[in-house]
Structure formats: structure tokens, C-alpha cells
Amino acid sequence: MYPKILQKFDAFLVKTVYGYANRRWYRNPLTKKVKADKETYLRLWDDAKSRTFPVIDAIEKTYGYAISPEFLHQLALHTQVVIKNSSINYQHGRVLYAILSKYISETEADTYNIIETGTAMGFSSLCMAKALQDKNANGKILTFDVLPHQKKIYWNCIDDLEGKKTRAELLKNYSYLCNRYIIFHQGNTVTEMSKVYMTRIHFAFLDGGHDYHHLKAELRHIMPCQFKNDVILFDDYSPSKFPGLAKAVDEMCAEFEYAKELIRADEERSYLLARKK
């Protein structure tokens, strides 16, 4: 029997090291104050809704599935409309919904196992959860992020006007999807993903670390668990902006035999669809 004194010491050591390593994520990591008034957030939202994306329209037409615009835009108001230098673009929600819905319609599974990196405020996870719900499919989305789920922070979004919130509070109107489909996991995927075992990962959306070594570590966990026609969607695939990310994706897709398709939403945002051969 492991001595109780050592059990207590181990628990203390783990808690101390973990707390030190993650303390910056508990200290308002995104912003220390409210960054704009309500009118500004609503104006940015209206601007984002008014933009057109012919390439994404074509994706929905090709795959035969389109997420409800009302669901998409309302969710985006609380989880995607932020103050930043670049334009607001949440078209990956439409891409995820269309591709995952088509995948479910063509792939038989009792439960669909989905991995996501870069949870942020939960937008992408909820778009995938919506696809599972609309297809009446069973599944779990395991989503990773260094940001805490149960710590009140400012998120740089319109909800900050009501005070600091946890992610759980931020997504309270979507608890029916969160509770059924999503598992929120805090931690760096380099260490945390290796602790998770799945016999198969049907679908993955990777939008976490954009550096070469980080992404290769994630893919060495995911790719061996995928079968023919299983899917990985990469956000921000751009050799000029993120050369390390692009290099890792290209190398791993070649090693594990994936077909690649580039989806360019606009001049600023591109995604890469990788499908296991």
C-alpha cells in the first residue's frame, strides 16, 4: 500500500506545480477590462453578418448541409465577435457543420469521437455539436484549451458588459448541447492529449498551437487513430503566415497518407481539409 504521507505529498506537489504552470491563464489572460461598449460589439456583428463568402456557399452546396444562420449568428455574437485588428470571420462554423454532417451521413458509428484543439469560447465545438444533434447522432467532442472552463474572466466579448464569467456561464444558453456532446479539458495538448485513449478518432478540428513541434505532437496522437475517410480540418493553413503549421501538416499528411483540399474563405482565412486515404 502506498503510504498515506507520500500520497498527500504527491497530491500537494501536483497541485503546486499545476497551479504554478497555469496561473497566467487564471489572471485575465485575454483582457483585464471591458474593451468596448454594446453598440461597438453589435456594429461588428452586423458587419460580419453582412459579408458574403461564395467559397463557403459552394462548400455547403457541395456537401448538401448548411447550419442554421440564426443559430450561427447568435452563437457568434457571444463567442466570435471580439475587438481585434483583423476582420471578424467565423465561417469555419459553416465549414465544420457541413463537412461533419456529410461525414456522419456516410459513416456508420455507434458513437462519433471528435477531437478539437483551441476551444476558446466554444464556438467551434458548438457548431459540431449542432451537427451531431441535427443528424440525431451520438458522439463526444473532447476539446482542449489552456483557458479554464470554471474561472470567471473577461473574454473580450459582449458578455463582458455583464461582468466576468466562466466559459460555462458564457455558454449557458447552449447547455443542452454542451451537456450532451462536449467535454471541456484544460491543458496543453503536448502533455494532455497523450493521456487520452481512443480506439478511433473519426473527426478532428485543430486550431490550437500553430507551431511545428506542437502540431506534430498532436498529429502523432490523432492520425494513427483514424481509418479510411476519417477527417481532420486545420484552421489557419497558410505557409506564409504560419510556416511551421503548414510544414507539420504537409509532412504528416504525406507520412500517414491523407488527401488534402485547401478551402480559402477570404484573403485572411484559409482551412485545410485532410481526409485519410
What is the chain's pLDDT, residue by residue, as a tens digit (277 residues)?
556 565 554 555 555 655 656 666 667 787 999 999 999 999 999 999 999 999 999 999 999 999 999 999 999 999 999 999 989 999 999 999 999 999 999 999 999 999 999 999 999 999 999 999 999 999 999 999 999 999 999 999 999 999 999 999 999 999 999 999 999 999 888 888 888 889 999 999 999 888 899 899 999 999 999 999 999 999 999 998 999 999 999 999 999 999 999 999 888 889 999 999 9
Tell me the one-letter amino acid at 131.
Answer: A
Buried b (16+ CB within 10 A) or exposed e, 167-193: bbebbeebeebbeebbebbbbbbeeeb
Tell me the one-letter amino acid at 62.
Answer: T
Q: Is residue 23 part of a domain?
A: no
In this prediction, residue 11 carries a pLDDT of 57
In this prediction, residue 4 carries a pLDDT of 58
Torsion sign (Cα): 62, 64, 65, 70 = positive
3-state secondary structure of 71: helix
In this prediction, residue 71 carries a pLDDT of 98
In this prediction, residue 10 carries a pLDDT of 56
In this prediction, residue 28 carries a pLDDT of 76
CA neighbor of 272 nearest in space, from 219, 213, 198: 219
Q: Is residue 145 part of a domain?
A: yes
Q: Is residue 259 part of a domain?
A: yes
Q: Is residue 22 part of a domain?
A: no
Domain assignment of residue 118, given as a range: 33-276
Q: Is residue 99 part of a domain?
A: yes
Report the CATH number that the domain containing residue 170 is assigned in CATH: 3.40.50.150
Q: Is residue 8 part of a domain?
A: no
Please count the structural domains in the chain.
Answer: 1
Q: Is residue 20 part of a domain?
A: no
Q: Is residue 162 part of a domain?
A: yes
CA neighbor of 168 nearest in space, from 210, 125, 205: 125
